[in-house]
Structure 1
């Protein structure tokens, strides 16, 4: 009496199921091209910049300190000079920008 009769769906519901996923696929594609891909590109450029650091480069750290690289260490650290005789060790990945690059030594 309170139970409504159940009706079977029409045959061929496979195409309707696919069309319901199309908006979800489009949203993921848009998110990939507008957010994920540019972020990966930026990360790759930053990694290349940090790998190319060498002695004499003037850099900007995340803390806003402009410093000159005095020593490049292998353990992911840099020794930078922030003032006359004031040397500080910083992590490589905290370098935000290379302000000026030194010219490579002539062979």
Structure 2
């Protein structure tokens, strides 16, 4: 018990603990960026590339789970045709497209 009481904090070690605390915060923030922000930015780039490569005739999966064929493309809108009878044509934003399948792909 006497050993625990003798180990009083050293006032000269205050600068070292401040530096180590700042270094630890920097490591934690860096790890958060590496594991959270970096993959999110990669995913945004992948989605932007997928949308920019969108062409008429591509099969798309919408965020609501419907499969359709792109029949017209505007600046920020696409017209997608759903169903086998070709009567259901819905205009939607490009951001509502979740996945694109090219006609020649499996």
TM-score grouping bracket, smaller chain normalisation: 0.7 to 0.9
Let me know the Cα RMSD of the aligned residues.
1.7
Match of residue 99 from structure 2? 97
Deviates more, 1:60-69 or 1:23-32: 23-32
Q: Distance in 1 between matches of 2:44 and 2:56?
A: 23
Partner residue in 1 for 2:78: 78
What is the aligned partner in structure 2 of residue 87 from structure 1?
89
Q: What secondary structure, in the 3-state scheme, does the structure 2 residue paired with 1:16 have?
A: helix
Q: Using the alignment, how far apart are the partners of 1:40 and 1:17 within structure 2?
A: 33
Match of 2:65 in 1: 64
Q: Which runs of 5+ in 2 are unaligned?
A: 1-9
Question: What TM-score results when the alignment is normalised by the length of structure 2?
Answer: 0.79
- Once the two structures are TM-superposed, the CA of residue 14 in structure 1 deviates from its matched residue by 3.5
Query: What is the number of residues matched between the two proteins?
Result: 93
Name the SS for the 1:46 alignment partner. Answer: helix
* SS of residue matched to 1:89: strand
Within 1, Cα distance between the matches of 2:18 and 2:32?
22
TM-score, with normalisation over the residues of structure 1? 0.78
| Per-residue CA distance 1:7-37 (angstroms, 9 max, x = gap) | xx84574333211112211111111111110
